[in-house]
Structure 1
Amino acid sequence: MGIRKLIVQTDSQTAIRLITTAGLRHPHSAMIQEARRLLAQEWEVELLHVFREGNVVADYLASLGHGLPPGDHIINTPYHMLSYWLYYDLLGVSLPRLIPDNI
Structure 2
Amino acid sequence: RLIIEKKLVKETHTQKVWLQVDSSVVVNMLTRQQEWHPKYSFLLHQCKHMIEWEGWEVKVSHCFREANQVADILAKMGSEGMLGVTIHRVPPMETRDALYADSVGVLWARHVD
Within the candidate set 9, 15, 27, 1:16 is matched to 27
CA RMSD of aligned residues (A): 2.9
Matched-pair contact (CA < 8 Å) for 1:9–1:58 = no
Q: What is the rounded CA distance, in whole Å, between the counterparts of 2:92 and 2:68 in structure 1?
A: 16
Structure 1 residue 48 corresponds to structure 2 residue 61? yes
Paired residues, what number? 98
Alignment of 1:71-90 (within 5 A): 73-77=85-89, 78-90=91-103
1:38 to 50, 63, 84: 50
TM-score calculated relative to the size of structure 1: 0.67
CA distance in 1, matches of 2:108, 2:66: 5
Bigger shift: residues 50-59 or 73-82: 73-82
User: 1:32/1:61 Cα in 2 relative to 1: closer, same or farther (>3 Å)?
Assistant: farther
Partner in structure 2 of residue 95 of structure 1: 108
Q: Bigger CA drift: 38-47 or 53-62?
A: 53-62
CA positional deviation for 1:25: 2.6
Cα deviation 1:1-57 (Å, max 9, x = unaligned):
111211111221011122223441342333322221221121111111122222222
Q: Which has the higher helix share?
A: 2
Deviation at 1:61, TM superposition (A): 3.6
**Structure 2 length normalisation: TM-score?**
0.62
Which region of structure 1 is more displaced relative to structure 2, 86-95 or 10-19?
Answer: 86-95
| Residue segments in structure 1 that go unaligned for 5+ positions in a row | none
- AA aligned to 2:47 is A
The one of 7, 13, 16 aligned to 1:2 = 13
